[in-house]
């Protein structure tokens, strides 16, 4: 199974599947469909039932039941797109056998990745690692999850003696830009319970995530020759800086952890005459989430009054909410995941997601969907890596879950 996981991760990583937040199509980039269609062909070759791709690019298939279980149909879901924050094309992975816990040279960029900067590397000492060469991201987010689901499905198809119920698998585009399940048909998918394979270190089990909003700010300046600008110029760049300074510095990602929320500027563009800014706003607490949005609105309104009505235009949009409210009423979903990890020799680590997954929105769409580890780390950048050993544990957890949901029906 380990060799299959490595082969799949490298193969899937070779597809450029970056999503595009500026696109108005779905999927946002046509190149995602190349991998999605490849996965469809692979499902058909493995003998999965009901394998299809719909008009929106969602790929789904079924591992047929091997026992007459009255247990619910369970699903496993991962996304194929990679983050638009870093180059996702022409990926050149590096394979490091039996990692010794030292510095890793990212040969393409002449950079090093060290436990001094990334102490969690020491948790995978002795593992086989797949890293980038420093010129791109790796794409383990979430192609590691895709590889684990496909490998577990192949294993279950090859071992009909394993007793399990009907299992649905699904792959989505555009998760990285918050649109992954915009058109996902939960009723057609047909699962009553699902798990996203989209976490990080071994044992991660997550059913709490951020409440999330986006903030887009347009700033109208007044460009005047700088030599004659006194009492006339409104420099949109300076206005943007002033607005950003009104937001609490201690509520930035680099100063927060665990349940702390943040304001995170992800883009600023412009010149003297006009500028634009984009933020993401996050908090686990719904009350704190609403407070943060109010702080952003107050900052924008203050700057607009200061420089004249129409200087600042703020567009706030909620993206997703904390899935805890939807998952907690179904404790058996979490308990089954705990048991599946323990059977794989993994200690469950229940923690909040400092991000979001398709599962957050799916949970509010009627499909309770906590998140399970994949073995990847340092997502969205050139320092991304993945542990093949942890990927194996994740695939074993999927197989164990398939059995556990059926066992009580013996």
Catalytic residues, by residue number, are 81, 175
CA distance 260 to 282: 9
Binding site: what residues are annotated?
Answer: 79, 141, 176, 198, 380
291 Cβ neighbours under 8 A, 6+ residues apart: none
Query: Residue 375 region, left (φ>0) first, then alpha (ψ -120 to 50), else beta?
Result: left
Strands across the sheet containing 204-206: 49-53, 59-63, 167-172, 74-79, 193-197, 371-372, 204-206, 349-350
**Contact between 277 and 244 (Cβ < 8 Å):** yes
CA distance 169 to 20: 25
Helix (H) / strand (E) element for 74: namely strand 74-79
Binding site for Zn(2+): what residues are annotated?
Answer: 79, 141, 176, 198, 380
Closest CA relative to residue 284, chosen from 208, 356, 349, 369: 208
CA distance 17 to 84: 9
Please give the structure tokens belonging to residue 389: 């050993």
Within 10 A of 115 (CB to CB), how many other CB atoms are there?
15
Q: What is the dihedral of CA 52, 362, 402, 350, to 10 degrees?
A: 150
Closest CA relative to residue 409, chosen from 63, 61, 65: 65
Apex 93 CA angle, 87 and 94, nearest 5: 135
**Contact between 206 and 348 (Cβ < 8 Å):** no
- With tokens 């607490």, the residue in question is 285
CA distance 77 to 72: 16
| Bridging pattern class, strands 167-172 and 59-63 | antiparallel
Residue 357 Cα to chain centre, angstroms: 5
């Amino acid at each position: 199974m380990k060799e299959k996981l490595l082969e799949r991760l490298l193969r899937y990583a070779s597809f450029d599947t970056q999503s595009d937040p500026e696109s108005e199509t779905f999927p946002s980039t046509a190149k995602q469909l190349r991998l999605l269609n490849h996965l469809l062909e692979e499902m058909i070759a493995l003998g999965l039932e009901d394998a299809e791709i719909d008009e929106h690019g969602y790929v789904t298939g079924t591992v047929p039941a091997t026992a007459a279980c009255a247990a619910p149909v369970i699903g496993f879901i991962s996304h194929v797109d990679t983050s638009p924050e870093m180059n996702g094309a022409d990926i050149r992975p590096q394979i490091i056998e039996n990692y010794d816990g030292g510095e890793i040279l990212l040969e393409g960029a002449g950079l090093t990745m060290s436990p001094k900067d990334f102490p969690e590397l020491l948790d995978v000492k002795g593992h086989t690692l797949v890293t980038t060469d420093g010129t791109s991201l790796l794409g383990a987010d979430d192609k590691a999850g895709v590889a684990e689901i496909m490998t577990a499905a192949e294993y279950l198809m090859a071992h009909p003696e394993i007793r399990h119920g009907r299992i649905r698998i699904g792959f989505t585009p555009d998760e990285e830009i918050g649109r992954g399940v915009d058109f996902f048909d939960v009723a057609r998918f047909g699962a009553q319970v699902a798990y996203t394979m989209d976490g990080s270190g071994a044992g991660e089990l997550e059913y709490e995530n951020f409440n999330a909003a986006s903030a887009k700010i347009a700033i109208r300046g007044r460009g005047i020759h700088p030599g004659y600008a006194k009492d006339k110029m409104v420099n949109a760049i300076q206005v943007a800086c002033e607005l950003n300074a009104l937001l609490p510095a201690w509520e930035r990602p680099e100063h927060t952890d665990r349940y702390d929320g943040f304001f995170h500027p992800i883009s600023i563009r412009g010149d003297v005459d006009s500028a634009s800014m984009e933020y993401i706003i996050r908090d686990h607490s719904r009350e704190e989430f609403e407070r943060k949005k109010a702080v952003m609105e107050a900052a924008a309104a203050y700057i607009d009054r200061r420089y004249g009505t129409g200087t600042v235009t703020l567009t706030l949009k909620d993206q997703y909410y904390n899935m805890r409210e939807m998952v907690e009423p179904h404790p058996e979903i979490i308990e089954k995941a705990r048991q599946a990890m323990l059977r794989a020799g993994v200690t469950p680590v229940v923690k909040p997601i400092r991000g979001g997954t398709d599962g957050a929105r799916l949970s509010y769409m009627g499909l309770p969907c906590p998140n399970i580890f994949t073995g990847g780390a340092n997502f969205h950048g050139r320092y991304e890596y993945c542990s093949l050993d942890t990927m194996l544990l994740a695939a074993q957890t999927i197989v164990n879950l398939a059995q556990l949901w059926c066992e009580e029906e013996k």
